[in-house]
Amino acid sequence: MTPIFSIVLPVYNEHENIPELYRRLNLVSKQLGHTTEMIFINDGSSDSTLKIVAALSKKDRRVRLINFSRNFGHQVAVSAGLDHSRGKYIAILDSDLQDPPEVLPKFFAKLKQGYNVVYAIRRDRKESWWLKAAYAGFYKLLSVAANINIPLDSGDFCVMDQKALHCMRQLPERNRFVRGLRSWIGLKQIGLEYKRAARFAGTTKYSLRKLFRLAFDGIFSFSFVPLQLLTFFGFQFFTLSIVFSLLIVYVRLFTDFFVPGFATTIILILFTSGLNMLSLGLVGEYVGRIYDEVKQRPQYIIESKIGFNN
């Protein structure tokens, strides 16, 4: 039977959260009053996540499982969930209960008013001050640098209709920044505020490295500004070098002023070679992404699927 609602749930070592998540989703699904499928994407967990979800799926036909062959990352897991959703309305939810399932009816109701995407905006974050500051800085940078408008403080938590889902599925890129892609597709979108809870159990599965990679994907997948900055600085330095050359010729020809200039030279060399390296790094970010795309590898490998035959 085709479900009306699909709920996409990426899970990576969330065994402590799944029973509570399932319990609360179950209540919400009753409230929604239509058939709901819960699509868990096991992103290479090393704890008992797989076993727990598989057991749930045995008991409850609405629970479906996509089991990745290894950890491919949250954004890819979400994309796999979208690829497998069959519902008329789709939700993307974190599995640690930071995104409370209880707000879903309100979000779905908004879709019925004619919106294609309703994304969640975090009203207050239960995170450390330095992480909050980093997030604020990142979203600011993104809104300044990205060519598209990614709403401030919106995460991946959202609901969408089939039209938006269809558009999302058409985007083949490997370095995925889901909230950016979601904004990129356009259509009718609206943000709704919600109170982001603290994690129910366990610790964050986003290491600092993963968080940085996500931030880089956000910037480099949606913006040429870093490259344009390079051109800008290149011009500035070029102009500066011409001015200095003229100045040196003038000093040499028309004055007796002798400049040792050792420190200045060293500083200039260090500065410009630093800038060169940084520039190469920036270009490398793009080249690496181009390389990823031309290899045309699938975004993920599925080891097994459970519950998709009914």
Selection from Mg ion, ligand UDP, none that 14 binds (CB < 5 to 8 A by kind) is ligand UDP
* Side chain identity at residue 7, one-letter code: I
Closest CA to 42 of 20, 21, 64: 64
Of 96 and 161, CB closest to Mg ion: 96
User: Closest distance between ligand UDP and the C-beta of residue 290, in Å?
Assistant: 24
Of 23 and 252, CB closest to ligand UDP: 23
Helix extents (H) in the chain:
18-32, 49-59, 74-84, 104-112, 129-145, 162-169, 178-184, 208-222, 225-254, 262-294
Selection from ligand UDP, Mg ion, none that 161 binds (CB < 5 to 8 A by kind) is none
Selection from ligand UDP, Mg ion, none that 71 binds (CB < 5 to 8 A by kind) is ligand UDP
CB 39 within 8 A of CB 118: no
CB 89 within 8 A of CB 159: yes
Of 116 and 219, CB closest to ligand UDP: 219
DSSP 4-67: SEEEEEEESS-TTTHHHHHHHHHHHHHHH-S-EEEEEEE-S-SSTHHHHHHHHHHH-TTEEEEE
Upper half-sphere CA count for residue 171 (Cβ side, 13 Å)? 23
User: Closest distance between Mg ion and the C-beta of residue 196, in Å?
Assistant: 9
User: Closest distance between Mg ion and the C-beta of residue 247, in Å?
Assistant: 57
Of 51 and 166, CB closest to ligand UDP: 51
Selection from ligand UDP, Mg ion, none that 73 binds (CB < 5 to 8 A by kind) is ligand UDP
CA–CA dist 137, 135 (Å, integer): 5
User: Closest distance between ligand UDP and the C-beta of residue 18, in Å?
Assistant: 10
Interacting residue ranges for ligand UDP, rule: CB under 6 A: 10-12, 14, 43, 71, 73-74, 77, 94-96, 98, 204-206
Tokens 């959703």 locate to 85
Per-residue mark of binding to Mg ion, 82-101 (x: CB under 5 A): ------------x-x-x---
User: Contacts with Mg ion: how many residues (CB under 5 A)?
Assistant: 3
| Sites of contact with Mg ion (CB under 5 A) | 94, 96, 98
